[in-house]
């Protein structure tokens, strides 16, 4: 069965363990279809522990757990996949280590990268960044809606849009035809993540 990328939660590393579990539990109840654990600053041990916490929460659901950046962490906890950036491990190497059954995502930050990625052994592409966002400020290109439409028309791989997407613009993003929409603050920063996920899903 092909993965369901529709509403893709990327976690906020500023959340405590307790808050992380609360947000992910509620977001899954609200309908998120994929969860990525993103830990940029902390120690490796903590990354693994938080991955194990999320594995427990997601066990018995159909929602895959994706690990940001780190193939070793994904293998150590037997997560469902990895999301790589352009400066992380090359996709071919990651695929070799992960095998064919794990999901592999790759960020693309330009049309040239999007074209190069078409022949890589990846399952989906993260389109970075759709709109400028305070959640991640080291992005180098803003696709906007027109750029997303162009990317969509040039890609054989499913696209996941990310960056600055919320309740106000999610319908416009979805209308470009992308397979999925990834968000951090619209769910992690919501007073009620279950309700937020439900409302976002209803709009797409
Ligand atoms: C679904 C999705 N798309 C893009 C990204 C960004 O990944 P990357 O460029 O590696 O940046 P960091 O998230 O590692 O800061 C993503 N995480 N998820
Ligand atoms: C993790 C991440 N990657 C991005 C990219 O453009 O590559 S933007 C981003 C954070 C998205 O957060 P929010 O939904 O709060 O805007
Ligand atoms: Mg990365």
Q: Which helix (H) or strand (E) holds 119?
A: none
For this complex, say whether ipTM is above 0.95.
Answer: yes
Q: Which residue has the tokens 């999610």?
A: 170
Q: Does residue 159 fall inside a structural domain?
A: yes
- Strand, coil or helix: 3: coil
| Residue from 68, 130, 184, 189 whose mutation best tests the ligand 2 pocket (most atoms within 8 A of CB) | 184
Looking up residue 38, the CATH number of its domain turns out to be 3.20.20.70
Q: Does residue 2 fall inside a structural domain?
A: no
Q: Does residue 180 fall inside a structural domain?
A: yes
Which residues are CB-neighbours of 100 under 8 A, at least 6 positions away?
none
176 is in an annotated binding site: no
14 is in an annotated binding site: no
E-assigned strands of the chain? 7-10, 34-37, 65-68, 81-84, 103-108, 124-127, 159-162, 180-183
- 134-163 confidence digits (pLDDT tens): 999 999 999 999 999 999 999 999 999 999
Report how many domains make up the chain: 1
Q: Does residue 113 fall inside a structural domain?
A: yes
12 is in an annotated binding site: no
The reported pLDDT for the residue numbered 1 is 73
The mean per-residue pLDDT over the stretch 11-36 comes to 98
CA–centroid distance, residue 122 to ligand 1 (Å): 14
CA–centroid distance, residue 136 to ligand 2 (Å): 5
Q: What does the alpha-carbon distance between residue 115 and residue 162 come to, in Å, rounded to a whole number?
A: 18
Question: Which domain range does residue 48 map to?
Answer: 7-203
Q: Does residue 1 fall inside a structural domain?
A: no
CA–centroid distance, residue 85 to ligand 1 (Å): 6
Polymer length in residues for the chain: 204
| Residue from 12, 68, 131, 186 whose mutation best tests the ligand 1 pocket (most atoms within 8 A of CB) | 68
The mean per-residue pLDDT over the stretch 195-199 comes to 98
Q: Does residue 27 fall inside a structural domain?
A: yes
Q: Does residue 139 fall inside a structural domain?
A: yes
Give the number of other CB atoms < 10 A from CB of residue 143.
26
The reported pLDDT for the residue numbered 2 is 87
The reported pLDDT for the residue numbered 16 is 97
């Amino acid at each position: 069965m092909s993965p369901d990328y529709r509403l893709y939660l990327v976690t906020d590393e500023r959340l405590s363990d307790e808050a992380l579990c609360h947000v992910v539990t509620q977001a899954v109840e609200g309908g998120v279809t994929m969860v990525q654990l993103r830990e940029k600053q902390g120690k490796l041990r903590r990354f693994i522990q938080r991955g194990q916490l999320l594995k427990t929460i997601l066990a018995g659901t159909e929602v895959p757990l994706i690990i940001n950046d780190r193939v070793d962490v994904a293998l150590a906890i037997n997560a469902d996949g990895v999301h790589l950036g352009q400066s992380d491990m090359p996709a071919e190497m990651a695929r070799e280590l992960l095998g064919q059954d794990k999901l592999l995502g790759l960020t693309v930050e330009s049309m040239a990268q999007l074209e190069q990625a078409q022949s890589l052994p990846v399952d989906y592409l993260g389109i970075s960044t759709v709109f400028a966002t305070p959640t991640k400020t080291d992005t180098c290109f803003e696709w906007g809606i027109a750029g997303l439409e162009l990317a969509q028309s040039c890609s054989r791989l499913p696209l996941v849009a990310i960056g600055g997407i919320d309740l106000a613009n999610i319908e416009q993003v979805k209308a470009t035809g992308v397979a999925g929409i990834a968000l951090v603050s619209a769910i992690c920063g919501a007073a009620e993540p279950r309700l937020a996920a439900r409302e976002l899903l209803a709009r797409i």
